[in-house]
Amino acid sequence: MKQMNQRDAIHYIATRQEFKASALMGVYAHTGTGRLDNEETALYNEAVNKGVDYMVYSYGTPIAWHTAEGWYVVEQKFSVTTSKHQNYVRRAIAEANELVGA
């Protein structure tokens, strides 16, 4: 898995490549629900059952995932750092949309 700083991770998220950047990581495997509340856990489980092909985790909690239907970024609020990670994901989604001309 590619090690990098968190800002460089934006491109890896946009292109759905595995990486690790301190407490932020993008993977193909599902490693659990971490600190998700009940509502977000239900959405996570529904997405996993439909077929998630890429997950973004912050401190072991899934904060975004990609399915055939597109991206979902968790709305739940966490720490300042995890909020920053969620914003990186939003920037990555915008970059991905530019790459495909959406």
Q: Give the tens place of pLDDT for each residue, 67-83.
A: 999 999 999 999 999 99
Q: pTM of this prediction? A: 0.92
Percentage of the chain beyond pLDDT 70 is: 97
User: Residue 66: is its pLDDT beyond 70?
Assistant: yes
CB–CB of 88/64 below 8 Å?
no
Q: Give the tens place of pLDDT for each residue, 1-42.
A: 777 788 889 999 999 999 999 899 999 998 899 999 999 999
CB–CB of 45/53 below 8 Å?
no
pLDDT bin (cut points 50, 70, 90) of residue 101 is low
Domain spans in the chain, listed from the N-terminal domain onward: 2-100
Using H for helix, E for strand and C for coil, what is the string for 84-101? HHHHHHHHHHHHHHHHHC
pLDDT, residue 1, reads: 75
C-alpha closest to that of 71 among 18, 22, 13, 28: 13
